[in-house]
Structure 1
Amino acid sequence: MFPPGVGPAADPTEGTAPERTIRSFQPRRSRVTHAQRQALLALWPRWGVEIDGRTRLDLDELLDGRPVVLEIGFGMGEATAEMAAADPATGILAADVHTPGQGNLLRLADRAGLDNVRVANGDAILLLREMLPERSLAGLRVFFPDPWPKKRHHKRRLIQPAFVALAASRLAPGATLHCATDWEPYAEWMLEVLDASEDFVNTAPDGGFAPRPANRPLTRFERQGLAKGHRVRDLIFRRLP
């Protein structure tokens, strides 16, 4: 898709042997538009991060000393760009494997004059485990992850006790873990897993789901779910000291 050394790598871990994990995502192959390709060619060298499992990221250097929120899975990037524009003092490290979405987010950030967005290519679990220091994140967002609805695929769901423990180790005390889903069984699953963690406390007054905060824009995917009658659930948990 891109010349060697230009744009996001097809496999950032090529040539290494990272620990094998059950993947919570499926790579999506779809056409990259001309505008997305041009954004990747022009901006990836400056704003792109390869999740290779080898590089230890210096977040202060990467995002100019801003507090950093990691966003796992951003689709086409519209909501991410909107949140970045609304909070320029916060850096967003947005991780995904969808090349058109990566290009579109870079295009949106450039068009809006945003300099607080970086786009990471690859497995976010590898990013958390191998490339981010402990207590380095000001927040973590997981919006509308694949619900893996079939029972035999539940092991592929991202929100699992092991993931929550890993996330807790990378979040600073007081940082928030914010999840959202329109799949009710997955929402219940998330609530059960997060409630069982000794590292987090639920910010919802009743200990259940949280109202959608004003700073989380409606995504294209969410609008589609709402049009189908799906109920969207937010879960906002705070990292304990």
Structure 2
Amino acid sequence: MNSMNDDGTDFRRRPVSFVRRSARLSTGQQRAWDNYSGRFLIDIPRGRADTSVDPGYVLDPAVVFGREAPLVVEVGSGAGEAVIHAAARHPDVNFLAIEVYTPGLAQTLMQIGRQELTNVRLIQANAPEMLTTALPAASVRELWVFFPDPWHKNRHHKRRLVSPHFASLAARVLEPAGLWRLATDWAGYARVMRNAVDASDEFTNLHPGPGTGAVPAGGWAPRFEGRVMTSFEKKALDAGRTVHDLTYRRKPD
């Protein structure tokens, strides 16, 4: 499967970072979807697929959130554990979660309702397309990519989200001096992610010192204290894998 070209003229020439999974909802998830999706799930115009983005669409954060505030975007928010935890602790910040899987979005909506949050919005879309055209340039204070699919098989490496191309998209949407936070529990992908962003002349690695753990050389950040310990991360640690964090700053124009 491929994603839309940068100018939107060719349908999904670049790989998307996901495969289709079951969209079956539990009773509670369906109830949350029915109750909250109309308010918190942003209805965006599509291209040719149900997770594509019309290249002419541009999000207006002030309109969708109803206020001006710093914007944090999480790509691949899953069940929403990280974004919900952060939003509850930072009501003065707007949080946008981008996810393709309906059950994960429904689970996030359930937590929004339970905690009566007003500073979270969700978009069901292919993230590279959102960063290519839909998010305004220099509109994001922080971009989060936590535990993206590592696509272990060599023939699937082209599906990996974090790449030199994606780094250029991240640089487009981040405001000058904005932060890009990444984390993965797979050593090989950690090295790929670090090398891809280090190669960009638009980012500065905030922790370039000597490295430790399963991946040699420097570049690793301390664990981001703002990232809640999710069930996914705990499972990785229980399996003996090391979580590697990266933090980059968008260079000023």
TM-score of the pair, normalised by structure 2: 0.85
Match for 1:107: what amino acid?
A: M
d(CA) in 2 for partners of 1:74, 1:49: 15
Q: Where do residues 27-176 of structure 1 align in structure 2 (5 Å cutoff)? A: 27-51=20-44, 52=46, 53-54=53-54, 55-63=57-65, 64-176=67-179
Other-structure match for 2:50: none
CA offsets, 1:63-101, max 9 Å, x none? 221211110111211222111111111111101111111
Other-structure match for 1:19: 11
Q: Does 1:191 align with 2:202?
A: no
Q: Does 1:219 align with 2:227?
A: no
Cα contact 1:77–1:102 (8 A) shared by 2: yes
The SS at the match of 2:42 is: strand
CA RMSD of aligned residues (A): 1.7
Match for 2:11: what amino acid?
A: E
Other-structure match for 2:213: none
- In 2 relative to 1, CA 205–161 (structure 1 residues): closer, same or farther, beyond 3 Å? closer
Match for 2:135: what amino acid?
A: L
Cα contact 2:131–2:172 (8 A) shared by 1: no
d(CA) in 2 for partners of 1:50, 1:27: 20
Match for 2:167: what amino acid?
A: V
The SS at the match of 1:49 is: coil
Match for 1:192: what amino acid?
A: N
d(CA) in 2 for partners of 1:151, 1:36: 35
Q: When the two structures are aligned, how many residues end up with a matched partner?
A: 227
In structure 2, runs of 5+ residues without a counterpart are: 47-52, 210-217
Larger CA deviation: 130-139 vs 50-59: 50-59
TM-score of the pair, normalised by structure 1: 0.89
Cα contact 1:28–1:97 (8 A) shared by 2: no
Other-structure match for 2:221: 210
Cα contact 1:50–1:122 (8 A) shared by 2: no
Larger CA deviation: 127-136 vs 177-186: 127-136
d(CA) in 2 for partners of 1:43, 1:17: 34
| Alpha-carbon shift at residue 229 of structure 1 (Å) | 0.3
Cα contact 2:208–2:220 (8 A) shared by 1: no
